Amino acid sequence: MVLFHPVILFIVQPDTRQLLNFFEAPWRARMAILGTLAFIAMIVTTIWRKPLNIPYEPWRFSHSTLSVLAVALGLGHALAVGNYLGLFWKAMLWSGFGLIALWLILYIRLVKPWLMIKTPYRVETVIPERGDVWTLVLRPLGHDGFRFQPGQFAWLTLNITPFRMREHPFSLSSSGDCPDRLEFGIKAVGDFTRTIKDVKPGTKAYLDGPYGVFTGDRYEDAAGFVLIAGGVGITPIMSMLVTAAERGDERPYLLIYSSKTWEDITYREKLDSLANKLKLTIVHVLRQPPDGWSGEQGYVDQALLARYIPARRGSQQYFICAAPVMMDKVAIALENLDVPVTHVHMEHYNLA
């Protein structure tokens, strides 16, 4: 609609094309041009961030900047033209929307970081796990921490002030009922995550959270849970299992976990221990199985799922966290197996 608006205008009123002459056009037209360019740049850099090789942190900063410019310049253009906002109450209404948006930006970037500084955390230790994953353990400093629903995530700022806008989202892997010890399972795949192994105990950290609806706590009436993970996607699912074990949950849990090799299975020993505390069935699926492997191998497909998921498929809740390709294929397979779409929940790694 933003792009069609000037196109239609140029067709109906051809003389308005002269407004494209940026240096001679009035300011209302200049704001329209700049706002539209900011809007297009924001969309392009978001949808094609990875193909354009834009690092995550610069993208987040540019995304915020471009969105503010697009909204502010668009509102300025509409008020200056006055065609639709000529009435005083309309101008005040849309100006109010703009001020609310500005306040939200100020709250997120100024007020919230100031509140986070008052509730710091410190790194207690960094634990190496299988699969090139590192568990970052945090303890609250001078406060009680926060409880969370197992499976949720938080934004982590490490060793810098939260005003720097360099927070990263990670799923919590510890028990949601233990606010005095928070753990994050982080795989070394990017510039920031590769530095986690070098973080020193005592390093200050700040958290913004918890967030997310990828949690079994929202489905207390579920007869059981089917958890499907790939690689580091086990992190939020680990939190669900640890919390369920501490609560003494007697419902059945089925974990189908895809890994590259036997040695790459993150939390392998911890999962075995949880199997002794829960009604937990673990199905490991290896893409490169060792000699003599008698378990499942290859990929998690419809045939494999059909062999393991319960016959009463509408009474379970299904949680999937893996690479996007695997999640898409598993979601289609579950639909073909008559699993209600309302019972399937997916957690993606990236915002963009």
What is the SS3 assignment for 262? helix
How far apart are alpha carbons 176 and 346 in whole angstroms?
A: 19
What pLDDT digit, counting tens, does each position of 18-47 carry? 888 899 899 999 999 999 999 999 999 999
Q: What is the pLDDT of residue 30?
A: 93
Q: Is the pLDDT at 237 greater than 90, yes or no?
A: yes
Say if residues 150 and 239 touch (Cβ distance below 8 Å).
yes
Q: Is the pLDDT of residue 290 over 90?
A: yes
pLDDT band of 352, cuts 50, 70, 90: low
At 350 the pLDDT is: 64
- φ/ψ bin of 251: left (φ > 0), alpha (ψ from -120 to 50), beta (otherwise): beta
* CA-wise closest residue to 281 among 252, 239, 313: 252
Does 130 have pLDDT greater than 60? yes
Measured between alpha carbons, how far is 69 from 82 in angstroms, rounded to an integer? Answer: 20
CA gap 170, 352 in Å, rounded = 14
pLDDT at 341: 93
In whole angstroms, give the CA distance from residue 339 to residue 341. Answer: 6
Give the model confidence (pLDDT) of 318-334 as tens digits: 999 999 899 999 999 99
Furthest CA-CA distance within the chain: 78
Whether residue 351 has pLDDT greater than 80:
no
Domains assigned to the chain: 4-116 (no CATH), 121-211 (2.40.30.10), 220-346 (3.40.50.80)
Residue carrying the six token digits 């849990």: 253
Helix (H, G, I), strand (E, B) or coil at 7: helix
pLDDT digits (tens, 9 = 90+) for 70-113: 988 998 998 888 888 888 898 899 889 888 988 888 898 889 99
pLDDT band of residue 191 (cuts 50, 70, 90) is: confident
